[in-house]
Amino acid sequence: MSDVSSERTFPISLQERGRKALRAIKGLEEAIAAQSVFCQGTIIYGKKGKIRQIPRQTPVLTIDRNRLVSILLKQLTETYSHNQVKVHFNCQCTAVDGTAKTVTLKLNQEQSFTTDYDLLVGADGARSQIREYLSNNAGLVCSQNYVPDAYKSVYLSRLNPETRWELEPNKIHAFTLENKARMLMVPQPGDHLNGVIIFDHQNNPLEGLSTKEEVKEFFEKNFPILGQLMSLEEAQMLLKRPVARVLTVHCERFHEGDSVLLIGDAAHAVSPSIGQGCNSSLEDVLILGQLLEQYGNDWGQVLPAFSQQRVSDAHALRELSDYTFPRQKSLIVEFLLRTMIKRLFHRWFPHWVKPFVFDLVLDTDLPYSQVLSLSQGWINKVKRSSLT
């Protein structure tokens, strides 16, 4: 894995439901926390310098994706011998034969190999080849859509000693522009900020910029604080980075018979707006383990039970991811007020008043379908506003 970039897109944010899954393996949460930053809330910077703070009673754990993967890989290889688990890198699934129960993997342009399986778990992301096989050959009803936003990754230092500019080390920093462009920067170890500039895919504010000086000037004008932290080297790298988009996935079931299962983004990729992609995937694994204990490793019962339990939550998560955060200014203010009021009343009357939708997602492991049911009025309001 030496050729893997040390940084990939924006960091992972781990909250209660994801961390609960990690706790099922002794020492894993602690190993991840040791290479993470605990964020105590979010600071929202307005166009005219106005600042709003959204504190968190329960901090979120943020970590770079590749760092997280390395820790998980180390845990796997140190727990199981090579005879128990064989790990192959840079393998692309090219064919599945459900009748013969074989899968073919491509190593490079010239080499490939075919292996038998008893159970095939497709955890191969939003563009899953396993899901494609089920759609084409097993009647899986599935749809894929791109979210309206596009983004570019941005990497900055949290402080600039020359200008004495710096951002708080334990807060997520959010910036907005009037044309729906926004930035999200997340602290990482070593005084780094990893994040993204997000914009409508048909209205890229960076389009037309051709030099690093123009990029830096754009940030100094539109995101003044970040402009002070951006080096010309990062401005040049930003020019070269491709525009990326997020593919969402909606499936009516997550299994086929007793031998094929989809989990994570392969089953239910969603918008990253509320940071639930990794958390829901980790929760998939936790629930799968619980079902294995319940049914004694009987895959004929485990796989249908997994679909029955997780499909409704996955569909609810898609609604929550698409419509928890509003775009209209008036609704943004209402969102912040509702969050603060609900927190206050929940603190006073915890048995009668539930937190607002975002806190329910981040601070609890309440099933997504229940979160949606409790928050349906707000979700419908945001959905209607997005149609106007």
Task: Count how many residues are written for the chain.
Answer: 388
Contact 183, 198 (CB under 8 A): yes
Angle between helix 212-222 and helix 232-240 axes, rounded to 10 deg: 100
Per-residue confidence (pLDDT) for residue 354, from 0 to 100 = 92
Rounded to whole angstroms, how far apart are CA atoms 340 and 336? 6
The CATH superfamily assigned to 88-141+252-323 is FAD/NAD(P)-binding domain (3.50.50.60)
Contact 135, 126 (CB under 8 A): no
What's the pTM value of the predicted model, to 2 decimals? 0.91
Strands 165-166 and 159-160: antiparallel
For residue 132, give both structure tokens.
């494609």
Architecture of domain 12-66+146-245: 3-Layer(bba) Sandwich (3.50)
Sign of CA dihedral 184, 18, 192, 5: negative
Per-residue confidence (pLDDT) for residue 9, from 0 to 100 = 62
Angle between helix 16-23 and helix 277-295 axes, rounded to 10 deg: 40
Q: What is the identity of the amino acid at 329?
A: K
Rounded to whole angstroms, how far apart are CA atoms 223 and 233? 18
> pLDDT by residue for the chain (388 residues), tens digit each?
334 444 456 689 999 999 999 999 999 999 999 999 999 999 988 776 778 888 888 899 999 998 999 999 999 999 999 999 989 888 889 999 999 999 999 987 778 999 999 999 999 999 999 999 999 999 999 999 999 899 999 999 999 888 778 899 999 999 988 767 889 999 999 899 999 999 999 999 999 999 999 999 999 999 989 999 999 999 999 999 999 999 999 999 999 999 999 999 999 999 998 999 999 999 999 999 999 999 998 999 999 999 999 999 999 999 999 999 887 878 988 998 999 999 999 989 989 999 999 999 999 999 999 999 999 999 999 999 887 6
Q: Of the candidates 313, 304, 323, 325, which has an alpha carbon nearest to the alpha carbon of residue 366?
A: 313
Instruction: Judge whether 12-66+146-245 and 88-141+252-323 match in fold.
Output: yes
Per-residue confidence (pLDDT) for residue 330, from 0 to 100 = 83
Rounded to whole angstroms, how far apart are CA atoms 368 and 266? 18
User: Per-domain residue ranges for the chain?
Assistant: 12-66+146-245, 88-141+252-323, 329-386
